[in-house]
Structure 1
Amino acid sequence: MRRRRVNTHPVNPSDEEAETESSSSVLFASEKRVFAVCLALRIVNALLIQTYFNPDEHWQALEVAHRMVFGYGHLTWEWKKGIRSYLHPMLFALLYKILALLHLDTPLVMIKAPRLLQSVFSAVGDLYVYKLSHVLFGGHVAKWALFCQLTNWFMFYCFNRTLSNSLETVLTLAGLYYWPCMRVSAGKVHPVSRKWGLAVAALACAIRPTSAIIWLYVGLLELLVTRDRLRFVFLEVLPIGAVMLGLTCLLDRLMYGSWILVPLNFLKFNFLSSGGDYYGTHKWHWYFSSGFPVMIFTFMPFSFYGIMKSKHWKLCGLIVWVLAIYSLLGHKEFRFVLPVLPLALMFSGYNLAKTERTDNKKKSSLHDHSKWPTKTQFTIFFLLATNIPMAMYMSLVHQRGAEDVMNYLSKEAQNEKVKSVLFLMPCHATPYYSTLHCNLPMRFLDCSPREDKELDESDQFLIDPVGFTSEIAKNRSLPSHVVLFSSEEKLLRDLLISYSYKELQRFFHAHFKVDRDLQASVVVYTLTGQ
């Protein structure tokens, strides 16, 4: 009998390197395709968003950027108190500057361009969902994690908006990818990657100081597992943090005109003095009982099951940590915990990948060729049937009047049909100069925090619309246009008619109420005579 020859020669190191390079190039090509698909979907996503979600999307980013470039735009009280950094608005200021230089700053472009720019950032975030899932759970799970990221209704509704929370989410996903402590095997990570993670974390904190909640957890975890603690603290954390803080302070010094330490002012107002409570509070358990379940929606049971199966307690612990810390604050909003939503969706992807493998095993073992849908197919149908209608309704229908009215006034202003505007509605209920893009007098009802506990203008108006409006009409010149919600318009119609106003346009806004009365539509009145 002839014996089979066994190659006893050692493997050529160059062969191993070639194989590694080959697999790396395949992965890189795959990531390029993933990014291209995500970018295309996010561009469509950006164009589909027609609704108003949160005032900060316009008032804390685009409005500030518009003022920086065009010289007019309203700065809210936060900018007078120095609790906001110019770093985030600067991104959109650069966009506006390019549009102005190319003479492309038309009403339509000014409305669409910021969200299209955000779609590029969002696609980067999607890519890092794929990359992080790939390094944690493998390529099969990564595909399903990306599916969950792209089909979740709240990510579709919120991620492409020009909120600082959206960019914070992108940076969180990118930063976590480079942290050794978040991976199953830290040995797989090149030592330089932690510095990249620190740099991205520092940038996230500079854009939104509350991002420190996330990186405090990650940093402490890294401190516990790393062997070079002194190097980590003194040669990485402190230098990188100091450089980022210094650069941000220089930018804010240039824009504010004096030295401002934004993170300290932010901490004093939101954490030490509970200033955010002025805008409403929720019960401590709101994020666990209402907020986060609404965001994750029908993915919730799949995420929970994925956590139990994967047993990646570090990542799960980060989600719980963020929800718990934010629960200590009185003022709560959905967008505050947006950075951990993709992490929860990754666990949904893990669950779907395991379900698909189970289905495939059953089919192969039983030789099942039936046309009945598998458990995976049923789950996909269920998730799409629940999330897509929700995403479309919230992005195209709910609270769209606030955007539509400003789009309309922008076109009218370009045709010199608008001389001045008065907004008789709760403060920051619509976009402002960044959408109008015309330097004409406008006034809205102020709602800056009052130390003397007096009611602000917005609350005074809601308590007595007729009396408040009468005082304005007596003491000020009449504006050419008045904008208000239908709930107050019913009360003010006779008064407006007495001052020679007539209804000009009415825009649908919402089917159900959000805070107070049902704001079914936004109404525009115009002055017809003296």
Structure 2
Amino acid sequence: MAAAAESEARLRKRKRAPRGPGLESPVAASSSWVRLAFLVTALRLLNAFLVQTSFVPDEYWQALEVAHRAAFRYGFLTWEWARGLRSALYPLALAGLYKALELLGTDRAPLLVWLPRLAQALLAAVADVRLYFLAKRIEGPAVAPWVVFCQLCSWFTWFCCTRTLTNATEAALGTIALSFYPVPGTPSGVSSVRYLTLAAVAFIIRPTAAILWAPLVLWHFWTETPEGRLRLLLRCLSVGLVTLGSSLVLDRMFYGKWVVVQLNFLRFNVLTGGGSFYGSHAWHWYWTQGLPAILGPHLPLFLLGCLRAPRRAPHRLLLALILWTVGAYSALSHKEFRFLLPVLPLAMLFCGRALHGLRKGRRAVSAGALLASNALLALYLGLVHQRGTLDLMAHLRGLCPPPSPSPPQQQQQRGPPSVLMLMPCHSTPFYSHIHCPLQMRFLQCPPDLDGRADYQDEADAFYAAPLPWLQREFGTANASSTPPPTHLALFRGLQKEIGPFLCAHGYKHRAAFFHTHLPQGRVGSHVDLYERDPKGS
């Protein structure tokens, strides 16, 4: 009896004994990550609904518009799709969602807008959970929750991760893949096939993923034994052949011809420098503006985390990876904030480590300040700044013809409605947000692909002389063979320059939509909608 009591006491003592990093109880570990998954999923779904502004045209024109045309056989494709610079994989995945709605008889415009966003939110949630497992392997179970906290607080991740951007998908797939990567100095149990497959899919969707993953794969080769290198080589070849072969077949079906979009992408953006048509920045822009801006309030924690990180293989590898990726992007002339999305989760590992390392009181204050400052940025940019163009498209849905075969009397008098967007090109989404064959036109701006010295795109030609451009296109009142559109959408301020045209054709101001508190250049504070009065035209 005494021996049994002593044995039971020792057992209770072992149960109460603290566990070291990575030695959590399996039951407790399973319960913690399940709770985390529910929390993160709920936050990312909320995230999707709290981002109602526009950011860059690619979230529509390289994704939703392409998917809408593939699913419903009408829409507009930009010049990249005519030249075969983009993989059809991501848009066709979204088109599958559209077709599912059509089969269910629920293909309404609001659902076409929100369902892809919700799918992107779920992918972002998976990436957040896998970031927790990556942090747990590298830093231990005490630091991992703080890494996820920093990730969820990041204003730029919140602003971008639920948008239908290939950059957001690339970042999410990269984070998930990295959680399966054999980071040196961490526990085993990783899967080279999984990380290679996810990295390959990210590369197919966006070839810039090679910047992050080429050195990682090479490092894996370097650290393997000769037998392990042979196995890894065979896995790379098998995964590469399957993914690239599938991409070739998919693009052959989409484009109607054989095309290697990754090669075309590399040729245009890197070898010929075509990306500079959309703007160029100094080589140091990512270091002095890009990375500090997207880190925002996290920047002090990131720097502190880098300074205090132990000089062990995992931290040196991750820091080198951040420096390499930012440096590689710095060599390209065209630079954008969103291109750095894949390195943000890596930076959060250092931020979370720094936050956990603070004293308890200072940690609570720092966490509260981090959450509040990021929330202000995320909510303002997600709900207020640059929302007018999306509100305009929601309003224009009212111009779609009703199901009834008999059109309204007003449409009989002047014909079907038509809309001309007198804005910088791609300022608004298009048919993916309307979902009816409404006659619409926007000012186009394809780059000069033929090397003409006197090239000027349509948008630049319009803004150089707005009134003469309109008079050439539509003539004066009652004298043009091409009737002016029934509706004009423009940023506030332009009406002063085209006032004579508006008066001559009987346009009346019908609606205004707030867009930004910081109007710049061709972008005004509001989007104004004008309608042509049939009696005055």
TM-score by length of 2: 0.89
Partner residue of 1:204 out of 197, 202, 206: 202
Partner of 1:90: 92
Partner of 1:396: 383
The alpha-carbon distance between structure 1 residues 528 and 310, as it changes in their structure 2 partners (threshold 3 A), is same
Partner residue of 1:523 out of 522, 528, 533: 528
Partner of 1:468: 469
Amino acid aligned to 1:520: S
Partner of 1:322: 325
Partner of 1:258: 257
Matches of 1:301 and 1:212 in 2, distance apart?
29
Matches of 2:320 and 2:397 in 1, distance apart?
47
User: Secondary structure, in 3 states, of the residue corresponding to 1:282?
Assistant: coil
Partner residue of 2:137 out of 119, 135, 138: 135
Query: 1:239 aligned to 2:274?
Result: no
Matches within 5 A, 1:55-74: 55-74=57-76
- Tell me if the contact between 2:66 and 2:77 (Cα under 8 Å) persists in the aligned partners: yes
The alpha-carbon distance between structure 1 residues 262 and 25, as it changes in their structure 2 partners (threshold 3 A), is farther
Matches within 5 A, 1:188-227: 188-190=187-189, 193-227=191-225
Deviations for 1:167-192, whole angstroms, at most 9, x for unmatched residues?
10111101111111x2423xx3236x
Matches of 2:116 and 2:237 in 1, distance apart?
34
Matches of 1:108 and 1:393 in 2, distance apart?
22
Matches of 1:329 and 1:294 in 2, distance apart?
19
- What percent of counterpart residues are identical? 40
Name the stretch that deviates more: 484-493 or 339-348.
484-493
Partner residue of 2:372 out of 377, 381, 385: 385
Partner of 1:119: 121
- Tell me if the contact between 2:491 and 2:522 (Cα under 8 Å) persists in the aligned partners: no
- Tell me if the contact between 2:117 and 2:162 (Cα under 8 Å) persists in the aligned partners: yes
Matches of 1:52 and 1:278 in 2, distance apart?
21
Q: Structure 1 residue 6: deviation in Å? A: 11
Amino acid aligned to 2:60: H
The alpha-carbon distance between structure 1 residues 460 and 88, as it changes in their structure 2 partners (threshold 3 A), is same
Amino acid aligned to 1:271: V
Q: Structure 1 residue 420: deviation in Å? A: 1.2
- Tell me if the contact between 1:296 and 1:345 (Cα under 8 Å) persists in the aligned partners: no
Partner of 2:513: 507
Matches of 2:4 and 2:28 in 1, distance apart?
34
Matches within 5 A, 1:317-396: 317-355=320-358, 358-359=359-360, 374-396=361-383
Q: Structure 1 residue 29: deviation in Å? A: 3.1
Q: Structure 2 stretches of 5 or more lacking a match?
A: 8-18, 476-480
Q: Structure 1 residue 308: deviation in Å? A: 2.0
Name the stretch that deviates more: 33-42 or 21-30.
21-30
Partner of 1:13: none
- Matched residue count: 498
Q: Structure 1 residue 489: deviation in Å? A: 2.4
Q: Structure 1 residue 517: deviation in Å? A: 4.4
Deviations for 1:471-490, whole angstroms, at most 9, x for unmatched residues?
12136321111111113223
Partner of 1:448: 446
User: Secondary structure, in 3 states, of the residue corresponding to 2:142?
Assistant: helix
Matches within 5 A, 1:167-206: 167-180=169-182, 182-185=183-186, 188-190=187-189, 193-206=191-204
Partner of 1:370: none
Higher helix share: 1
Matches of 2:473 and 2:3 in 1, distance apart?
103
- Tell me if the contact between 2:67 and 2:92 (Cα under 8 Å) persists in the aligned partners: yes
Deviations for 1:59-102, whole angstroms, at most 9, x for unmatched residues?
00000000011111111000010010110111211111111111
Amino acid aligned to 2:389: A
Matches of 1:48 and 1:176 in 2, distance apart?
28
Amino acid aligned to 1:94: G
Q: Structure 1 residue 414: deviation in Å? A: 5.3
Matches within 5 A, 1:147-158: 147-158=149-160
Matches of 1:290 and 1:4 in 2, distance apart?
67
Runs of 4+ in 1 over 6 A off after TM superposition: 2-7, 19-22
Partner residue of 2:41 out of 28, 35, 39: 39
Q: Structure 1 residue 32: deviation in Å? A: 2.0
TM-score by length of 1: 0.90
Partner of 1:276: 275
Partner of 2:15: none
- Tell me if the contact between 2:143 and 2:352 (Cα under 8 Å) persists in the aligned partners: yes
User: Secondary structure, in 3 states, of the residue corresponding to 2:208?
Assistant: helix
Name the stretch that deviates more: 225-234 or 520-529.
225-234
User: Secondary structure, in 3 states, of the residue corresponding to 1:209?
Assistant: coil
The alpha-carbon distance between structure 1 residues 28 and 471, as it changes in their structure 2 partners (threshold 3 A), is farther
Matches of 1:512 and 1:496 in 2, distance apart?
26
Amino acid aligned to 2:364: Q
Amino acid aligned to 1:303: F
Matches within 5 A, 1:101-112: 101-112=103-114
Partner of 2:419: 421
Query: 1:267 aligned to 2:272?
Result: no
Deviations for 1:223-276, whole angstroms, at most 9, x for unmatched residues?
221113641553111221111100111111111111111111111111100110
Query: 1:295 aligned to 2:282?
Result: no
Partner of 1:366: none
Partner of 2:490: 484
Q: Structure 1 residue 21: deviation in Å? A: 12
Q: Structure 1 stretches of 5 or more lacking a match?
A: 8-18, 360-373
Partner of 1:11: none
Deviations for 1:176-211, whole angstroms, at most 9, x for unmatched residues?
11111x2423xx3236x0111111111110111110
